[in-house]
Amino acid sequence: MPVSQSELTQHFEHVLSLSKVDETQSVAVLKSHYSNSFIVTAAMEASQRLGAKAYIVELPAFNHRTAMGNDLTAYVGHTALTGHPAAQQALMAADLVVDTMMLLHSPEQEAILKSGTRILLAVEPPEMLARMLPNLEDKRRVEAAAEVFKSASTFRVTSAAGTDFTARLGQYPVVTEYGFADAPGRWDHWPSGFLFSWPDEGSAEGTIVVDVGDILLPFKTYVRDKPVTLEIQEGFIRQIHGGFDAEYLREYMAHFKDPDVYALSHIGWGLQPRAQWTALGLHDKNDAIGMDARAFEGNFLFSTGPNTEVGGPRNTPCHMDIPLRHCSIFLDDAMMVQEGRVVAPEGSLSSS
């Protein structure tokens, strides 16, 4: 459903206020020609309503000849900011950057965050921003789960479809996403509501079965043909087999001619009750990057490729996000999700 400029601006005022924007702050809205103009206007208006000094940094779009499709998460790491220190300085000068063009998984984003600048990514259509408007309850629940995640040393996932995956934890931090950037150096994404970490290098092992109904991003397809089975050893996908969807995934990843594309990237689970598994099927591919799929409560979200977000060595541009339903997730021996239903910790359960 369409969302009016006035409603969107009010939502931005709510989220920027949660992001600690006030008269002491400066806000840079990062945009390009493909940014949603309603979002750019709402971010600028809301910042000024909150008394902040607002400005726009516009960058020419960045294209790479290997990149296919328009999804902003499909080709990551190299952005319009790569090799552009002047623009990076202009963004680091702000207290908060509202990113409407996607810097995620780029070394430049990490450099901006290290300077203490906060970044809030907002690229989804206004309908999704409105439906998954964040609140302090989201933050409390995600942080309750992160407390347990941070102290765990093993991550295990099983499913009736045949998934049996383990990874050691501890080398990389736990990343929380609850929809607003409220602390110095914090990156967040509106909409979101999930958490993840990365497997210790070389520790991811086992089988992941992407079953019928599970989602392949950025393809924005639900697996419908036969399940896709991934065999994982020492941190990398070694085999991809199944039916058409498996062949498509093999072909797509091979296109990048980069062995790092087969590395496991972030692993975690969804905690957003206002995100829906079905939502992706109601949008055209170019409408959105599909945050409902990444955030729906009780999913097991794993991904492939880069680990630059946590200072890791892999900056490969091919990034798959693959959320699964009906999985059970264990931290050490404690079950967090039981066949797609969040069961622990108590503080992370939603009332819906």
Ligand X SMILES: O=c1ccc(O)c[nH]1
What is the maximal distance between C-alpha atoms in the chain? 56
Q: Which parts of 307-336 interact with Fe ion (CB under 5 A)?
A: 321
**157: CB partners within 8 A, 6+ apart:** 163, 164, 165, 166, 208, 267, 300, 302, 327, 328, 329, 330
Smallest gap from Cβ 303 to ligand X, in A, equals 6
Question: Cα dist. 180→112, 157, 158, 187, 249 in Å?
Answer: 17, 29, 32, 8, 33
Binds ligand X by CB under 6 A, chosen from 152, 195, 321, 325: 321
Residue 99, binding choice from Fe ion, ligand X, none, Cβ under 5 to 8 Å by partner class: none
Backbone angles phi, psi at 106, to 5 degrees: -115, 145
Smallest distance, ligand X to C-beta of residue 209, A? 21
Q: Does 297 bind ligand X (CB under 6 A)?
A: no
The single residue among 177, 182, 211, 297 that binds ligand X, judged by CB under 6 A, is 177
Query: To the nearest 10°, the Cα dihedral for 172, 70, 124, 121?
Result: 40
- Residue 259's nearest CA partner among 204, 318, 210, 200 is 318
Does 47 engage in binding with Fe ion (CB under 5 A)?
Answer: no
Q: Are 22 and 47 in contact (CB under 8 A)?
A: no
CB of 351 to Fe ion, least distance (A): 28
Cα separation, 73 vs 104, in Å, equals 8
- State the minimum distance, in angstroms, from the CB of residue 307 to ligand X: 11
Q: State which residue, 16 or 317, has the beta carbon closest to Fe ion.
A: 317
Residue 343 CB, shortest distance to Fe ion, in Å, is 24
How many C-beta atoms surround the C-beta of residue 256 within 10 A? 18
Residue 307 binds ligand X, judged by CB under 6 A = no
x/- letters, 91..130, toward ligand X (CB under 6 A): -------------x--------------------------
Binding positions for Fe ion, rule: CB under 5 A: 303, 321
For binding to ligand X (CB under 6 A), which residues are involved?
A: 73, 104, 177, 189, 192, 294, 303, 321
